């Protein structure tokens, strides 16, 4: 049986997960995969980057994954990393919201930010009395029209009011995308809210029911946090994946793919490494790249405007600040950090208290805060240089958290055009895009955060599905070629 020649473009967790799936599936059927992975950067991992220096384990990108999404936990088990799994510190259970430059506790009993218990919600200090009353109107409002996609902001404002949406919903729900809540798709971002509304009419009633079931079942985690990481940092998952796929994969690092062309013999990839141009033919291609690059490469394949997708991306930065414990006279041990509503008008959009949330990442005697800057409509601070940006953020930490000391060091990481925003109608556009791709360029599979979810488990499952699609194409083509008498 001939080798299965597959090119994967993109060396993040999506592309590497696709490579692993190709290997697992072809080995099981007695084939031998011949995989080439093209990565324009000099390193693998994409947005997963871990700094491991001086006993610190600092994530520059995502710091965890959701344990309830099975693809991530399954991958860790398959890579032999189950003993490395670390659950978020359950003692750091509180989250704060910044209002009027003060830390106000998130209402207890919330379910994804929704009021899952009335008494704690009524006692919360984030919202005014009128804001709480308006949110409670959700209990008596008629069902929302969910026959078509709407913005997440429109839906939440209709159900819970502007104040709840601006000060609780927006920083928690839109912050994940560094986006504007009134421009994000309800169905593509938080479709579970639409399901709650369909089932219960009221989001509050739905949240109460979901919270009760969550507490009864403990979500299968025996009371442990729903968020997990691994002891050596998430980049160790990338390293393990690279080791796993290495025997069957040729890594073309620093190699930018410039063109993909369909030929009678397969797909020709033209790439550039330094000053050298290289060409190679493959049976199938998997694209695990941002949407802008996806559009460019698919335009070369089909020459059709129907093979383009409109997904805007926002830029962000993470700033890790380290303090000596003896200089910090504020108790940060009981909380994981805070969220900043955009109406506060400051540089930070959120802060994770890393040494509280993940104690294993920080040597004794140190306290690390990881702060985030940049979101749609609020990215002017990203024009500052690293020193200026770190100084602005440190001053905001002093004002909001009360840490008077200066950080002993900082680490700034910038992510330019890194956060995809799913606009209204995103699911429909992606479905139409995939249908056109299947019709015009079968043998090309696509995956990545700009399409079907930006969490790590979402990217993993997308990579695996793209690998399945690529293999199905190769195998069906072999059957057709054999029936036609072709070698």
Structural domains in the chain, CATH included, are 4-46+237-311+423-483 (3.50.50.60), 104-217 (1.10.3110.10), 313-420 (3.90.660.20)
Both tokens of residue 419? 């956060």
The number of angstroms, rounded, from the C-alpha of 435 to the middle of its chain's C-alpha atoms is 25
The number of angstroms, rounded, from the C-alpha of 464 to the middle of its chain's C-alpha atoms is 16
pLDDT in tens, 212-250: 876 665 444 445 668 999 999 999 999 999 999 999 999
Of 31-35, 422-426, 463-467, which gets the smallest average pLDDT?
31-35
pLDDT in tens, 313-330: 999 999 999 999 999 999
pLDDT at residue number 88: 95
pLDDT at residue number 219: 43
pLDDT at residue number 220: 45
Q: Spell out the long-range contacts of 293-301 with Cβ–Cβ below 8 A and sequence spacing 24 or more.
A: 294/446, 294/448, 294/450, 297/9, 297/257, 297/259, 297/260, 298/260, 298/437, 298/441, 298/444, 300/259, 300/260, 300/261, 301/260, 301/261, 301/262, 301/267, 301/440, 301/441, 301/444
Enter the pTM of the model. Answer: 0.94
**Is 129:370 a contact under the CB 8 Å cutoff?**
no
pLDDT in tens, 399-417: 999 999 999 999 999 999 9
Determine the average pLDDT of the residues in 183-208. 96
Buried b (16+ CB within 10 A) or exposed e, 84-108: bbbbbbeebeebbbbbeeebbbbbe
How far is it, in rounded angstroms, from Cα 486 to Cα 162? 65
pLDDT in tens, 66-121: 999 999 999 999 999 999 999 999 999 899 999 999 999 998 888 888 988 889 99
pLDDT at residue number 233: 97
- H or E element at residue 63: none
For all residues of the chain together, what is the average pLDDT? Answer: 93
Greater confidence (486 vs 326) lies with 326
Look at residue 5 and give its three-state secondary structure.
strand
What CA–CA distances, in Å, run from 470 to 101, 264, 415? Answer: 51, 17, 30
Look at residue 308 and give its three-state secondary structure.
coil
- H or E element at residue 341: none
């Amino acid at each position: 049986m001939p080798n299965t020649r597959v090119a994967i473009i993109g060396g993040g967790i999506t592309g590497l997960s696709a490579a692993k799936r190709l290997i697992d599936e072809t080995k099981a059927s007695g084939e031998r995969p011949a995989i080439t992975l093209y990565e324009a950067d000099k390193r693998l991992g994409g947005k997963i980057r871990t700094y491991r220096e001086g006993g610190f384990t600092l994530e520059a990108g995502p710091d965890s994954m959701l344990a309830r999404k099975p693809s991530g936990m399954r991958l860790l088990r398959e890579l032999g990393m189950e003993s490395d799994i670390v659950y978020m510190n359950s003692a750091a259970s509180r989250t704060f919201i910044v209002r009027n430059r003060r830390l106000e506790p998130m209402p207890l009993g919330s379910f994804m930010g929704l009021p899952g218990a009335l008494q704690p919600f009524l006692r919360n200090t984030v919202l005014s009395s009128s804001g709480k009353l308006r949110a409670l109107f959700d209990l008596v409002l008629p069902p929302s029209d969910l026959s078509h996609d709407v913005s997440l902001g429109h839906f939440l404002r209709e159900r819970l009011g502007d104040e709840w949406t601006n000060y609780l919903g927006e920083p928690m729900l839109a912050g994940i995308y560094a986006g504007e809540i009134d421009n994000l798709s309800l169905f593509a971002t938080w479709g579970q809210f639409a399901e709650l509304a369909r089932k219960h009419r009221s989001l509050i009633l739905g949240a109460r029911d979901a919270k009760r079931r969550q507490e009864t079942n403990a979500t299968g985690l025996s009371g442990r946090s729903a968020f997990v990481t691994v002891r050596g940092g998430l980049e160790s998952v990338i390293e393990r994946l690279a080791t796993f796929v290495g025997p069957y994969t040729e890594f073309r690092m620093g190699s930018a793919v410039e063109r993909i062309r369909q030929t009678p013999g397969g797909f020709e990839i033209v790439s550039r490494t330094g000053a050298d141009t290289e060409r190679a033919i493959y049976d199938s291609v998997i694209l695990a790249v941002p949407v802008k690059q996806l559009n460019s490469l698919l335009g070369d394949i089909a020459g059709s405007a129907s093979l383009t997708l409109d997904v805007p991306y926002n830029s962000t930065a993470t700033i890790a600040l380290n303090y000596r414990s003896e200089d910090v006279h504020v108790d940060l041990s009981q909380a994981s950090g805070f969220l900043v509503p955009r109406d506060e008008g400051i540089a930070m959009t959120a802060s994770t208290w890393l040494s509280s949330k993940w104690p294993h990442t920080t040597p004794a005697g140190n306290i690390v805060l990881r702060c985030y800057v940049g979101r749609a409509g609020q990215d002017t601070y990203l024009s500052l240089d690293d020193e200026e940006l770190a100084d602005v953020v440190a001053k905001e930490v002093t004002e909001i958290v009360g840490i008077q000391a200066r950080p002993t060091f900082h680490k700034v990481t910038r992510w330019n055009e890194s956060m995809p925003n799913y606009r209204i109608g995103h699911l429909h556009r992606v479905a139409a895009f995939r249908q056109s791709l299947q019709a015009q360029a079968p043998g090309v599979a696509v995956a990545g955060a700009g399409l079907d979810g930006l969490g790590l488990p979402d990217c993993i499952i997308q990579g695996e599905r793209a690998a399945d699609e690529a293999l199905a194409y190769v195998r069906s083509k072999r059957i057709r070629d054999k029936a036609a008498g072709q070698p």
